[in-house]
Amino acid sequence: MLKKKIVIIGAGVGGLTSACRLAKDGYNVEVYEKLSRCGGRCNIIEDRGYKFDTGPSFVLMPDFFEEVFSYCGKRIEDYLDLRAIDPSYKIFYSDGETLCVYRDSQRTKEELKRIDKGASEQFDKFIQETARIYNIIRPLLYKCVTYKSLTNPYYWRLVTKIRAFESYWQLARKYFKSDKLCYAFTFEAMFMGVSPYQAPAFYSIISYTDHVQKIFHPMGGMYQIPLALEKLAGQLGAKIYYDSEIENIGRKDGQISLLKGKNQIQASSAIVNADYAYAQTELLKRKIPDFKYSCSTYLIYLGINKKLNNLAHHNLFFAKDLKKNLDELFKSKLNPEDPSFYVHVPTITDPSLAPAGKDILYLLIPVPNLENTRQALKDHELRLRRIIFDKINKVCACNLEELIEVEHRFYPEDFIGRYNIKFGATFGLAHNLTQSAFFRPANFDPVMKNLYYVGASTQPGGGLPVVIAGSRIVADLINAAG
Protein backbone atom coordinates (compact mmCIF):
# COMPACT_ATOMS: atom_id res chain seq x y z
CA MET A 1 0.00 0.00 0.00
CA LEU A 2 1.34 3.42 -0.99
CA LYS A 3 2.09 5.76 1.88
CA LYS A 4 -0.05 8.89 1.99
CA LYS A 5 1.76 12.00 0.84
CA ILE A 6 1.92 15.00 3.14
CA VAL A 7 3.32 18.35 2.04
CA ILE A 8 4.62 20.88 4.55
CA ILE A 9 4.92 24.56 3.62
CA GLY A 10 7.88 26.01 5.48
CA ALA A 11 10.97 24.51 7.13
CA GLY A 12 10.78 26.46 10.35
CA VAL A 13 10.99 24.57 13.63
CA GLY A 14 7.26 23.79 13.51
CA GLY A 15 7.48 22.46 9.96
CA LEU A 16 10.60 20.40 10.67
CA THR A 17 9.23 18.81 13.85
CA SER A 18 6.00 17.97 11.98
CA ALA A 19 8.08 16.40 9.21
CA CYS A 20 10.03 14.29 11.72
CA ARG A 21 6.90 13.01 13.45
CA LEU A 22 4.96 12.19 10.31
CA ALA A 23 7.93 10.57 8.54
CA LYS A 24 8.33 8.41 11.65
CA ASP A 25 4.62 7.57 11.43
CA GLY A 26 5.14 6.21 7.93
CA TYR A 27 3.96 9.02 5.67
CA ASN A 28 5.64 10.23 2.50
CA VAL A 29 6.67 13.72 3.63
CA GLU A 30 7.83 16.60 1.44
CA VAL A 31 8.79 20.01 2.82
CA TYR A 32 8.91 23.14 0.61
CA GLU A 33 10.83 26.13 1.92
CA LYS A 34 10.99 29.61 0.38
CA LEU A 35 14.51 30.30 1.69
CA SER A 36 17.74 28.53 0.79
CA ARG A 37 18.05 26.85 4.19
CA CYS A 38 15.98 25.63 7.12
CA GLY A 39 14.98 27.37 10.35
CA GLY A 40 12.57 30.15 9.41
CA ARG A 41 12.98 32.88 12.02
CA CYS A 42 15.43 30.60 13.86
CA ASN A 43 18.23 31.36 11.43
CA ILE A 44 21.88 32.40 11.24
CA ILE A 45 24.25 34.99 9.79
CA GLU A 46 27.92 33.95 9.36
CA ASP A 47 30.47 36.67 8.75
CA ARG A 48 34.26 36.65 9.25
CA GLY A 49 34.22 33.96 11.91
CA TYR A 50 31.19 35.34 13.79
CA LYS A 51 28.02 33.23 13.90
CA PHE A 52 24.93 35.25 14.77
CA ASP A 53 21.71 33.47 15.69
CA THR A 54 19.03 35.74 14.29
CA GLY A 55 15.89 34.52 16.04
CA PRO A 56 15.13 32.78 19.36
CA SER A 57 18.09 33.01 21.70
CA PHE A 58 17.33 30.61 24.57
CA VAL A 59 15.90 27.17 25.28
CA LEU A 60 13.11 26.81 27.83
CA MET A 61 11.14 23.64 28.61
CA PRO A 62 13.87 21.23 27.41
CA ASP A 63 11.51 18.29 27.95
CA PHE A 64 9.45 19.49 24.97
CA PHE A 65 12.56 19.27 22.79
CA GLU A 66 13.42 15.84 24.19
CA GLU A 67 9.88 14.61 23.43
CA VAL A 68 10.32 15.13 19.67
CA PHE A 69 13.41 12.94 19.54
CA SER A 70 11.94 10.25 21.80
CA TYR A 71 8.78 10.25 19.63
CA CYS A 72 11.06 9.45 16.70
CA GLY A 73 12.95 6.77 18.61
CA LYS A 74 16.11 8.85 19.03
CA ARG A 75 18.14 10.38 21.85
CA ILE A 76 18.36 14.17 21.87
CA GLU A 77 21.93 13.90 23.16
CA ASP A 78 22.95 12.43 19.81
CA TYR A 79 21.78 15.59 18.03
CA LEU A 80 22.04 18.52 20.46
CA ASP A 81 24.34 19.48 23.31
CA LEU A 82 22.13 21.53 25.65
CA ARG A 83 24.05 23.32 28.40
CA ALA A 84 22.52 24.97 31.46
CA ILE A 85 23.26 28.69 31.80
CA ASP A 86 24.25 30.28 35.10
CA PRO A 87 23.32 32.99 35.82
CA SER A 88 20.11 32.59 33.83
CA TYR A 89 19.97 36.32 33.12
CA LYS A 90 20.85 39.72 34.52
CA ILE A 91 18.55 42.73 34.77
CA PHE A 92 19.86 46.30 34.66
CA TYR A 93 17.56 48.97 36.08
CA SER A 94 17.83 52.61 35.02
CA ASP A 95 19.02 53.73 38.48
CA GLY A 96 22.10 51.49 38.29
CA GLU A 97 20.69 48.65 40.42
CA THR A 98 21.01 45.11 39.05
CA LEU A 99 19.29 41.79 39.66
CA CYS A 100 20.84 38.43 38.79
CA VAL A 101 18.69 35.32 38.42
CA TYR A 102 20.68 32.16 39.17
CA ARG A 103 20.13 28.44 38.69
CA ASP A 104 20.31 28.20 42.48
CA SER A 105 17.05 29.81 43.62
CA GLN A 106 18.54 30.50 47.03
CA ARG A 107 21.07 32.82 45.39
CA THR A 108 18.25 34.46 43.45
CA LYS A 109 16.33 35.07 46.67
CA GLU A 110 19.36 36.78 48.16
CA GLU A 111 19.30 39.09 45.15
CA LEU A 112 15.59 39.78 45.60
CA LYS A 113 16.10 40.73 49.24
CA ARG A 114 18.42 43.55 48.21
CA ILE A 115 15.44 45.16 46.49
CA ASP A 116 12.66 44.13 48.90
CA LYS A 117 13.40 42.46 52.24
CA GLY A 118 10.20 40.41 52.19
CA ALA A 119 10.58 39.25 48.59
CA SER A 120 12.28 35.95 49.39
CA GLU A 121 9.18 34.45 51.03
CA GLN A 122 6.94 35.94 48.35
CA PHE A 123 9.13 34.38 45.66
CA ASP A 124 8.41 30.92 47.07
CA LYS A 125 4.68 31.62 47.08
CA PHE A 126 4.77 33.03 43.53
CA ILE A 127 6.65 29.98 42.22
CA GLN A 128 4.25 27.67 44.03
CA GLU A 129 1.30 29.35 42.30
CA THR A 130 2.93 29.39 38.86
CA ALA A 131 3.83 25.70 39.30
CA ARG A 132 0.17 24.95 40.03
CA ILE A 133 -0.89 26.78 36.84
CA TYR A 134 1.87 25.07 34.82
CA ASN A 135 0.74 21.60 35.91
CA ILE A 136 -2.79 22.38 34.71
CA ILE A 137 -1.76 23.92 31.40
CA ARG A 138 1.07 21.60 30.34
CA PRO A 139 -1.21 18.73 29.16
CA LEU A 140 -3.38 21.27 27.30
CA LEU A 141 -0.40 22.34 25.19
CA TYR A 142 -0.80 19.07 23.29
CA LYS A 143 -4.50 19.60 22.56
CA CYS A 144 -6.33 21.66 19.94
CA VAL A 145 -9.34 23.39 21.48
CA THR A 146 -12.05 25.26 19.57
CA TYR A 147 -15.20 27.26 20.26
CA LYS A 148 -16.98 23.89 20.40
CA SER A 149 -14.73 22.90 23.29
CA LEU A 150 -16.32 25.67 25.33
CA THR A 151 -19.44 23.53 25.66
CA ASN A 152 -17.41 21.08 27.77
CA PRO A 153 -17.84 21.95 31.48
CA TYR A 154 -14.32 20.65 32.13
CA TYR A 155 -12.80 23.63 30.31
CA TRP A 156 -15.05 26.14 32.01
CA ARG A 157 -13.84 24.91 35.39
CA LEU A 158 -10.26 25.46 34.25
CA VAL A 159 -10.84 29.12 33.41
CA THR A 160 -10.77 30.28 37.01
CA LYS A 161 -8.13 27.74 38.03
CA ILE A 162 -5.63 29.23 35.57
CA ARG A 163 -6.62 32.83 36.45
CA ALA A 164 -7.63 33.59 32.86
CA PHE A 165 -9.28 36.90 33.70
CA GLU A 166 -6.27 38.34 35.51
CA SER A 167 -3.26 39.83 33.78
CA TYR A 168 0.30 38.63 34.16
CA TRP A 169 1.05 41.93 35.94
CA GLN A 170 -1.89 41.55 38.35
CA LEU A 171 -0.68 38.10 39.34
CA ALA A 172 2.84 39.35 40.06
CA ARG A 173 1.48 42.32 42.00
CA LYS A 174 -0.28 39.92 44.41
CA TYR A 175 3.15 38.70 45.50
CA PHE A 176 5.59 41.58 45.03
CA LYS A 177 5.26 45.15 46.34
CA SER A 178 8.13 46.52 44.30
CA ASP A 179 7.50 47.56 40.68
CA LYS A 180 11.07 46.52 39.98
CA LEU A 181 10.32 42.95 40.98
CA CYS A 182 6.94 42.87 39.26
CA TYR A 183 8.65 43.76 36.01
CA ALA A 184 11.41 41.23 36.73
CA PHE A 185 8.78 38.48 36.92
CA THR A 186 6.64 39.60 33.95
CA PHE A 187 9.11 40.88 31.33
CA GLU A 188 8.75 37.52 29.54
CA ALA A 189 5.47 38.82 28.10
CA MET A 190 7.51 41.15 25.89
CA PHE A 191 9.14 38.07 24.34
CA MET A 192 5.66 37.04 23.23
CA GLY A 193 5.23 40.51 21.78
CA VAL A 194 2.62 41.71 24.26
CA SER A 195 2.48 43.90 27.36
CA PRO A 196 2.38 42.16 30.77
CA TYR A 197 -0.64 44.39 31.44
CA GLN A 198 -2.48 42.61 28.61
CA ALA A 199 -1.09 39.06 28.73
CA PRO A 200 -3.32 36.69 30.75
CA ALA A 201 -1.92 35.50 34.07
CA PHE A 202 -1.58 31.92 32.85
CA TYR A 203 1.42 33.00 30.77
CA SER A 204 3.22 33.14 34.11
CA ILE A 205 4.13 29.53 33.35
CA ILE A 206 7.10 31.10 31.54
CA SER A 207 8.28 32.50 34.89
CA TYR A 208 7.94 29.01 36.31
CA THR A 209 10.09 27.50 33.57
CA ASP A 210 12.69 30.27 33.98
CA HIS A 211 13.09 29.74 37.68
CA VAL A 212 12.39 26.01 38.11
CA GLN A 213 13.32 24.26 34.86
CA LYS A 214 15.98 26.92 34.12
CA ILE A 215 17.43 28.17 30.83
CA PHE A 216 19.63 26.24 28.38
CA HIS A 217 21.88 26.97 25.41
CA PRO A 218 22.61 24.56 22.52
CA MET A 219 26.36 24.50 21.98
CA GLY A 220 27.17 25.74 18.51
CA GLY A 221 24.30 28.22 18.74
CA MET A 222 20.52 28.19 18.44
CA TYR A 223 20.76 27.34 14.75
CA GLN A 224 21.86 23.86 15.80
CA ILE A 225 18.20 23.19 16.65
CA PRO A 226 16.79 23.42 13.09
CA LEU A 227 19.93 21.71 11.77
CA ALA A 228 19.35 18.80 14.16
CA LEU A 229 15.70 18.56 13.12
CA GLU A 230 16.63 18.76 9.43
CA LYS A 231 19.06 15.87 9.94
CA LEU A 232 16.50 13.81 11.84
CA ALA A 233 13.79 14.43 9.22
CA GLY A 234 16.18 13.31 6.47
CA GLN A 235 17.13 10.16 8.36
CA LEU A 236 13.45 9.30 8.68
CA GLY A 237 12.87 9.72 4.94
CA ALA A 238 11.40 13.21 4.64
CA LYS A 239 12.47 15.24 1.61
CA ILE A 240 13.15 18.98 1.95
CA TYR A 241 13.21 21.30 -1.05
CA TYR A 242 14.77 24.75 -0.63
CA ASP A 243 14.32 27.87 -2.78
CA SER A 244 10.83 26.48 -3.35
CA GLU A 245 8.10 28.98 -2.55
CA ILE A 246 4.47 27.81 -2.52
CA GLU A 247 2.21 30.48 -4.04
CA ASN A 248 -1.31 29.09 -3.67
CA ILE A 249 -3.29 26.45 -1.78
CA GLY A 250 -6.42 24.86 -3.25
CA ARG A 251 -8.16 21.53 -3.85
CA LYS A 252 -8.17 19.35 -6.95
CA ASP A 253 -9.50 15.83 -7.50
CA GLY A 254 -10.19 15.41 -3.78
CA GLN A 255 -6.65 16.33 -2.76
CA ILE A 256 -4.79 19.40 -1.54
CA SER A 257 -3.23 21.17 -4.51
CA LEU A 258 -0.28 23.54 -4.11
CA LEU A 259 1.10 25.87 -6.75
CA LYS A 260 4.89 26.24 -7.02
CA GLY A 261 5.75 28.36 -10.03
CA LYS A 262 4.15 26.56 -12.98
CA ASN A 263 4.05 23.24 -11.16
CA GLN A 264 1.20 21.80 -9.16
CA ILE A 265 1.93 19.55 -6.19
CA GLN A 266 -0.84 17.31 -4.89
CA ALA A 267 -1.01 15.61 -1.53
CA SER A 268 -3.44 13.87 0.79
CA SER A 269 -2.78 16.53 3.45
CA ALA A 270 -0.84 19.77 3.79
CA ILE A 271 0.59 21.56 6.82
CA VAL A 272 1.21 25.29 6.73
CA ASN A 273 4.23 26.44 8.75
CA ALA A 274 4.18 29.86 7.08
CA ASP A 275 2.84 32.88 9.00
CA TYR A 276 -0.86 32.24 9.60
CA ALA A 277 -2.13 35.65 8.50
CA TYR A 278 0.01 35.53 5.35
CA ALA A 279 -1.23 32.03 4.52
CA GLN A 280 -4.86 33.08 4.85
CA THR A 281 -4.61 36.24 2.74
CA GLU A 282 -1.97 35.28 0.16
CA LEU A 283 -2.06 31.50 -0.20
CA LEU A 284 -5.79 30.93 0.38
CA LYS A 285 -7.01 34.36 -0.83
CA ARG A 286 -9.28 34.84 2.18
CA LYS A 287 -10.31 37.79 4.27
CA ILE A 288 -9.14 37.54 7.87
CA PRO A 289 -10.56 38.83 11.15
CA ASP A 290 -9.29 42.01 12.77
CA PHE A 291 -6.49 40.22 14.61
CA LYS A 292 -4.25 41.92 17.14
CA TYR A 293 -0.57 41.59 16.32
CA SER A 294 2.54 41.46 18.46
CA CYS A 295 5.12 44.21 18.48
CA SER A 296 8.04 44.14 16.09
CA THR A 297 11.75 44.34 16.85
CA TYR A 298 14.80 46.24 15.68
CA LEU A 299 17.80 43.91 15.81
CA ILE A 300 21.50 44.75 15.75
CA TYR A 301 24.14 42.00 15.51
CA LEU A 302 27.66 43.04 16.49
CA GLY A 303 30.95 41.20 16.30
CA ILE A 304 33.41 42.97 18.60
CA ASN A 305 37.16 42.60 18.89
CA LYS A 306 37.42 41.95 22.65
CA LYS A 307 35.62 40.37 25.58
CA LEU A 308 33.28 42.64 27.54
CA ASN A 309 32.92 42.74 31.31
CA ASN A 310 29.84 42.89 33.56
CA LEU A 311 27.37 41.27 31.14
CA ALA A 312 25.77 37.82 31.45
CA HIS A 313 24.75 35.46 28.62
CA HIS A 314 21.26 37.07 28.72
CA ASN A 315 20.77 40.69 29.80
CA LEU A 316 17.76 42.98 30.11
CA PHE A 317 18.02 46.74 30.31
CA PHE A 318 14.80 48.29 31.63
CA ALA A 319 13.60 51.77 30.74
CA LYS A 320 13.29 54.30 33.57
CA ASP A 321 9.52 54.41 33.02
CA LEU A 322 8.70 50.91 31.82
CA LYS A 323 4.94 51.51 31.91
CA LYS A 324 5.39 54.43 29.51
CA ASN A 325 7.66 52.29 27.33
CA LEU A 326 5.00 49.57 27.10
CA ASP A 327 2.25 52.09 26.33
CA GLU A 328 4.35 53.55 23.51
CA LEU A 329 4.81 50.11 21.97
CA PHE A 330 1.33 48.68 22.32
CA LYS A 331 -1.05 51.66 22.62
CA SER A 332 0.43 54.78 21.05
CA LYS A 333 2.43 52.88 18.38
CA LEU A 334 5.40 55.19 18.92
CA ASN A 335 9.09 54.36 18.81
CA PRO A 336 10.16 54.41 22.46
CA GLU A 337 11.57 57.59 23.94
CA ASP A 338 13.58 55.53 26.43
CA PRO A 339 13.68 51.90 25.21
CA SER A 340 13.92 48.72 27.18
CA PHE A 341 16.13 46.26 25.35
CA TYR A 342 17.75 42.83 25.47
CA VAL A 343 21.43 41.98 25.01
CA HIS A 344 22.47 38.43 24.13
CA VAL A 345 26.15 37.55 24.58
CA PRO A 346 26.25 33.83 23.68
CA THR A 347 30.06 33.77 23.51
CA ILE A 348 30.11 33.87 27.32
CA THR A 349 28.85 30.26 27.27
CA ASP A 350 29.91 29.27 23.75
CA PRO A 351 33.21 30.85 22.56
CA SER A 352 32.99 28.86 19.29
CA LEU A 353 30.54 31.46 17.93
CA ALA A 354 33.26 34.11 17.47
CA PRO A 355 37.00 34.25 16.75
CA ALA A 356 39.20 33.65 19.78
CA GLY A 357 39.12 36.43 22.36
CA LYS A 358 36.14 38.16 20.78
CA ASP A 359 32.43 38.53 21.58
CA ILE A 360 29.05 38.59 19.90
CA LEU A 361 26.35 41.05 20.94
CA TYR A 362 22.79 40.50 19.73
CA LEU A 363 20.72 43.59 20.60
CA LEU A 364 16.92 43.37 20.48
CA ILE A 365 14.82 46.52 20.84
CA PRO A 366 11.02 46.08 20.87
CA VAL A 367 9.38 48.60 18.51
CA PRO A 368 5.82 48.98 17.18
CA ASN A 369 4.71 46.72 14.34
CA LEU A 370 3.92 48.31 10.98
CA GLU A 371 0.13 48.25 11.27
CA ASN A 372 -0.97 51.90 11.22
CA THR A 373 2.43 52.89 12.57
CA ARG A 374 2.72 56.57 13.44
CA GLN A 375 6.47 56.87 13.04
CA ALA A 376 9.17 55.44 10.79
CA LEU A 377 11.85 53.56 12.70
CA LYS A 378 14.51 54.93 10.33
CA ASP A 379 13.77 58.44 11.66
CA HIS A 380 14.53 57.26 15.23
CA GLU A 381 17.19 54.63 14.59
CA LEU A 382 20.25 56.75 15.37
CA ARG A 383 18.66 58.08 18.57
CA LEU A 384 17.75 54.58 19.77
CA ARG A 385 21.17 53.26 18.87
CA ARG A 386 22.87 56.08 20.80
CA ILE A 387 20.79 55.42 23.94
CA ILE A 388 21.50 51.69 23.82
CA PHE A 389 25.21 52.02 23.14
CA ASP A 390 25.59 54.61 25.91
CA LYS A 391 23.97 52.28 28.45
CA ILE A 392 26.16 49.35 27.42
CA ASN A 393 29.26 51.55 27.46
CA LYS A 394 28.48 52.65 31.03
CA VAL A 395 27.97 49.09 32.27
CA CYS A 396 30.99 47.64 30.45
CA ALA A 397 33.31 50.67 30.77
CA CYS A 398 34.03 50.59 27.04
CA ASN A 399 33.43 52.43 23.78
CA LEU A 400 31.38 49.89 21.88
CA GLU A 401 31.54 51.67 18.52
CA GLU A 402 35.34 51.47 18.49
CA LEU A 403 35.21 47.69 19.07
CA ILE A 404 32.87 46.71 16.22
CA GLU A 405 34.38 44.48 13.54
CA VAL A 406 31.14 43.17 12.03
CA GLU A 407 27.63 44.63 12.09
CA HIS A 408 24.29 43.50 10.67
CA ARG A 409 20.85 45.00 11.24
CA PHE A 410 17.32 43.67 10.85
CA TYR A 411 14.25 45.91 10.62
CA PRO A 412 10.48 45.33 10.92
CA GLU A 413 10.23 45.49 7.11
CA ASP A 414 12.71 42.61 6.88
CA PHE A 415 10.33 40.32 8.74
CA ILE A 416 7.86 40.91 5.92
CA GLY A 417 10.33 40.54 3.04
CA ARG A 418 12.22 37.54 4.38
CA TYR A 419 9.63 35.63 6.43
CA ASN A 420 6.24 36.89 5.13
CA ILE A 421 5.31 38.06 8.65
CA LYS A 422 2.27 40.35 8.47
CA PHE A 423 3.03 43.91 9.62
CA GLY A 424 6.53 42.73 10.60
CA ALA A 425 5.00 41.51 13.88
CA THR A 426 8.00 39.50 15.07
CA PHE A 427 6.05 37.17 17.38
CA GLY A 428 2.97 36.75 15.15
CA LEU A 429 -0.50 37.20 16.59
CA ALA A 430 -0.51 38.83 20.02
CA HIS A 431 -1.01 36.62 23.06
CA ASN A 432 -3.90 38.50 24.66
CA LEU A 433 -6.90 36.75 26.21
CA THR A 434 -9.06 36.87 23.08
CA GLN A 435 -6.28 35.28 21.02
CA SER A 436 -5.31 32.51 23.42
CA ALA A 437 -6.48 28.90 23.79
CA PHE A 438 -10.01 28.48 22.30
CA PHE A 439 -9.76 31.85 20.55
CA ARG A 440 -6.40 31.34 18.83
CA PRO A 441 -6.49 29.92 15.28
CA ALA A 442 -6.88 26.15 15.43
CA ASN A 443 -4.39 23.67 14.02
CA PHE A 444 -6.84 22.50 11.35
CA ASP A 445 -8.64 24.50 8.69
CA PRO A 446 -12.39 24.85 9.34
CA VAL A 447 -13.22 24.92 5.61
CA MET A 448 -10.62 22.97 3.64
CA LYS A 449 -10.40 19.34 4.67
CA ASN A 450 -6.93 17.92 5.41
CA LEU A 451 -5.28 21.34 5.71
CA TYR A 452 -3.42 21.98 8.97
CA TYR A 453 -1.39 24.73 10.66
CA VAL A 454 1.62 24.83 12.94
CA GLY A 455 3.54 27.90 14.12
CA ALA A 456 3.64 30.83 16.49
CA SER A 457 0.28 32.33 15.45
CA THR A 458 -1.73 29.13 15.86
CA GLN A 459 -2.45 26.97 18.87
CA PRO A 460 -0.96 26.47 21.36
CA GLY A 461 1.07 29.68 20.80
CA GLY A 462 4.52 31.14 20.23
CA GLY A 463 7.95 30.17 21.51
CA LEU A 464 9.99 27.18 20.37
CA PRO A 465 8.76 24.58 22.91
CA VAL A 466 5.13 25.56 22.39
CA VAL A 467 5.45 25.46 18.59
CA ILE A 468 7.02 22.01 18.98
CA ALA A 469 3.95 20.97 20.99
CA GLY A 470 1.84 22.25 18.09
CA SER A 471 3.57 19.80 15.77
CA ARG A 472 2.43 16.97 18.05
CA ILE A 473 -1.15 18.27 17.83
CA VAL A 474 -0.98 18.28 14.01
CA ALA A 475 0.52 14.79 13.84
CA ASP A 476 -2.20 13.48 16.16
CA LEU A 477 -4.94 15.12 14.05
CA ILE A 478 -3.58 13.64 10.82
CA ASN A 479 -3.20 10.18 12.35
CA ALA A 480 -6.71 10.34 13.77
CA ALA A 481 -8.10 11.29 10.34
CA GLY A 482 -6.58 8.10 8.92
Q: What is the pLDDT of residues 249-295, one digit of tens each?
A: 999 999 999 999 999 999 999 999 999 999 999 999 999 999 999 99
pLDDT of residue 158: 87
What average pLDDT score do residues 204-214 get?
94
User: CATH number, domain at 265?
Assistant: 3.50.50.60
Residue 399 confidence (pLDDT) above 90: yes
State the amino acid at position 464 in one-letter form: L
Residue 411 forms part of a structural domain: no
pLDDT of residue 146: 87
Residue 354 forms part of a structural domain: no
pLDDT of residue 208: 95
CB atoms within 10 A of CB 414: 16
What average pLDDT score do residues 170-189 get?
96
Confidence grade of residue 2 (pLDDT, cut at 50, 70, 90): low
pTM more than 0.75: yes
Residue 77 forms part of a structural domain: yes
Angle, nearest 10°, between helix axes 153-161 and 119-137? 170
pLDDT of residue 148: 82
Strands 341-344 and 263-267, by their bridges, are unpaired
For residue 258, give its domain range.
Answer: 5-46+55-83+220-292+433-481
Residue 351 forms part of a structural domain: no
Residue 335 confidence (pLDDT) above 60: yes
Residue 64 forms part of a structural domain: yes
Q: How far is it, in rounded angstroms, from Cα 249 to Cα 245?
A: 12
pLDDT of residue 1: 47
Residue 298 forms part of a structural domain: no
Residue 380 confidence (pLDDT) above 80: yes
Residue 89 confidence (pLDDT) above 80: yes
Residue 410 forms part of a structural domain: no
Burial class (CB in 10 A: 0-12, 13-18, 19+), 287: exposed
What average pLDDT score do residues 216-222 get?
98
State the amino acid at position 199 in one-letter form: A
Mean pLDDT of the chain: 96
**pLDDT tens, position by position, 469-481:** 999 999 999 999 9
Residues 6+ apart with CB under 8 A from 76: 65, 66, 68, 69, 70, 82
> How many domains would you assign to the chain?
1
Q: How far is it, in rounded angstroms, from Cα 61 to Cα 59?
A: 7
C-alpha distances in Å from residue 21, one per residue of 79, 217, 398, 471: 16, 24, 48, 8
pLDDT of residue 243: 98
pLDDT of residue 266: 96
**pLDDT tens, position by position, 94-149:** 999 999 999 999 999 999 999 999 999 999 999 999 999 999 999 999 999 988 88
Residue 253 forms part of a structural domain: yes
